[in-house]
A and B are shown apart, each in its own frame.
Chain A
Amino acid sequence: MARSLKPPAIGPFRPDAFRSPARSERTAAILGISLGVSFTVCFLTGIYSHLAQYPPSWFHLSARPAGLYRVTQGLHVATGIASIPLLLAKLWTVFPKLFAWPPFHGVASFLERISLLPLVGGGLFMLFSGLANINLWYPWPFNFPIAHYWVAWITMGALVVHIGAKATITRDSLRRTTRDPESTVATSDAAPVPVTGLTRRQLLATTFGVSGLVTLLTVGQTVSPLRKLALLAPRRPDTGPQGFPVNRTARAAGVETAARADTYRLEVVGRVPKPVSLTIHEIRGMPQHRATLPIACVEGWSANKTWEGIRLRDLLAHAGIRDARSVRIESLQQHRSYRSSIVDADQTSDPDTLLALRVEGEELALDHGYPVRLIAPNRPGVMQTKWVARVVVL
């Protein structure tokens, strides 16, 4: 490199500044592949959740399998948490490259390095914002779902560029079977660089071990046999009114009075032959059905419960509708997001789609949607609308 500027041989720019033998191409390759897998799982499950909540015209949320969203969203959050130590270890491994001199040479190397900003910044942003969101902590001035969704596309695009740039080097470093730790330190001085710190295997064992540890300490928020171990999870599937969590309380939604009022009516309106208006007593007088369905929150917790109430399709039949139709379920809640949700024809006609009055044999608690809440198979929790006041047939 005749034309290259002389590197500033100070601090981290010194060629021997970083001498851990664990910082090898092989370490970077193994961690990189692991992150590629975990980020892809996060991305795909995230896309599914986004489609479920903001469905474009071509997407229809199926009713079955009933627990699908519970699995995909539990996986989304668990994989994100498991990725935290993986990403930090990966960045530690390649940290010396930040000080490479000259910073780039040629167009390809410039593109490769510039794409690291959205990759690293985006990856850290995705994990941090996701972790903050499951804690209901919003220290930023923008809309979380929009930012988390679109930055995911930008990060994954940068990841594709990165995979293109590193595919060959990754394959080569994994094919090599050398046992001795490869040092990234330029060993121009003949004396072997003293081995300090962890070996590659110890670093990888630590990283995957810690990844497993934090998974074990959080995944109980959706895998209920492990709930007692969920010491770092912001939710416990067995904690809350009637033994399961609440996202928005009746007070926060401003429905405390309306939900308990004698004037409460459940209405079926919209494109119906005969609009219906029912008191709570009339609803209780209709045939009651039971369904065991998960309530599965976008924040990653879930709980399986037995619900009891009237079938949505029976209510629609009451209003003179016999075929499968899409409806909008509207809450007593007047303001803020998630006051209504769409139920596709596939879910409306499902026998387990209930307007529930009871859970686990008890009348619904006010915070769980008293007097009537929607509970249907395979839906994000925010779309299991509480304090239902109106069914609008579309």
Chain B
Amino acid sequence: MSAPTEAGSAAASAVESSGATHPRAGITFWIGVVIGGGVMAFGLRGLLDQVDTTSAAAIARWVIGADLVHDLLLAPIAILVGWAAGRAVPDRFRFPVQAALVATGVVLLIAWAPLRGYGRAVVPDNPSVQPLNYATAVVTILVLVWVAAGVAIAARLARDLTARPR
């Protein structure tokens, strides 16, 4: 940490962890507020020019809702799963297991709509939309992901075993 902020590392880290402006960022911050605020105002103005109040309210609900669903649902689930995996899995196997968990979660998120057939339901007479069997596709991907994690664990185990005699 550079000199001007060295007002006592506890206070500095408290400022940082509360998401506050870095003390030296004064001018940069206000330039950002003016330009960014202008761009946001342009976007808001454009939106309100093109949609009625019902749609604008629905869009606001979806934007704020996206934030709430993440903060109250997705993030706590991810943290709990990560925490549980951390307890259940020995230290040196944690990386492959947690990496595979992250891959599993993201693959399921992206596959959600095709897995549920949401697009196909809109255009039932169009077989070129979501043409695959996505359940098979997702199972195949996840099997490969976990096989890769298994190989990484086995490699670590093998390293441990060969290192032991010494």
Query: What residues of chain A have their CB less than 8 Å away from a CB belonging to chain B?
Result: 1, 25, 81, 84-85, 88-89, 91-92, 94-98, 100-106, 108-109, 111-113, 115-118, 120-122, 124-125, 128-129, 131-132, 135-143, 146-147, 149-169, 172, 176, 184, 186, 188, 196-198, 202, 205-207, 209-210, 213-214, 217-218, 231-232, 234-236, 239-241, 244-249, 251-252, 367
Q: Is the CB of A100 within 8 A of B19?
A: yes
Whole-angstrom distance from the CB of B93 to the nearest CB of chain A? 12
- Interface residue from B2, B36, B75 paired with A92 (Cβ < 8 Å): B75
B47, A146: Cβ atoms closer than 8 Å: yes
B122's nearest neighbour on chain A, judged by CB, is A136
B18→A167 contact, CB < 8 A: no
Complex Cα distance A186/B12, Å?
Answer: 11
Q: What B residues does A116 contact at CB under 8 A? A: 19
B99 at interface, CB cutoff 8 A: yes
Q: How far is the CA of A105 from the CA of B18 in the complex (A)?
A: 9
Cross-interface CB contact of B63 among A1, A91, A111, A125, cutoff 8 Å: A125
Chain B residues with a Cβ under 8 A of chain A = 1-2, 10-11, 13-14, 16-22, 24-26, 28-33, 35-44, 46-47, 50-51, 54-55, 58-59, 62-67, 69-71, 74-75, 78-79, 82, 86, 94-95, 98-99, 102-103, 106-107, 109-111, 113-114, 118-119, 122-123, 125-132, 134, 137-138, 140-141, 145
Are A112 and B21 interface neighbours, CB within 8 A? Answer: yes
The answer to whether A214 and B107 touch across the interface, beta carbons within 8 angstroms, is yes
Instruction: Tell me the complex Cα distance, A235–B71, Å.
Output: 31
| A183-B71 Cα distance, complex, nearest whole Å | 22
Decide if A234 touches B114 in the complex (CB within 8 Å).
yes
| Chain A nearest CB, measured from B8 CB (Å) | 11
A151 and B17 contact, Cβ closer than 8 Å, known pairs A135-B119, A249-B125, A249-B126: no
Whether the Cβ atoms of A198 and B43 lie closer than 8 Å is no
19 contacts between A and B (CB under 8 A): A81-B110, A84-B106, A115-B36, A118-B40, A121-B67, A122-B63, A132-B118, A135-B113, A153-B39, A154-B44, A156-B39, A157-B37, A158-B36, A169-B22, A202-B95, A232-B110, A232-B114, A232-B137, A236-B131
Complexed CA–CA distance, A129 and B65 (Å)? 12
Interface centre among A97, A102, A103, A135 (most CB of B within 10 A): A135
> Which residues of A sit under 8 angstroms from B64, Cβ to Cβ?
117, 121
A118 to B39, CA, bound (A): 12
Known: A91-B75, A214-B110. A153 touches B123 (CB 8 A): no
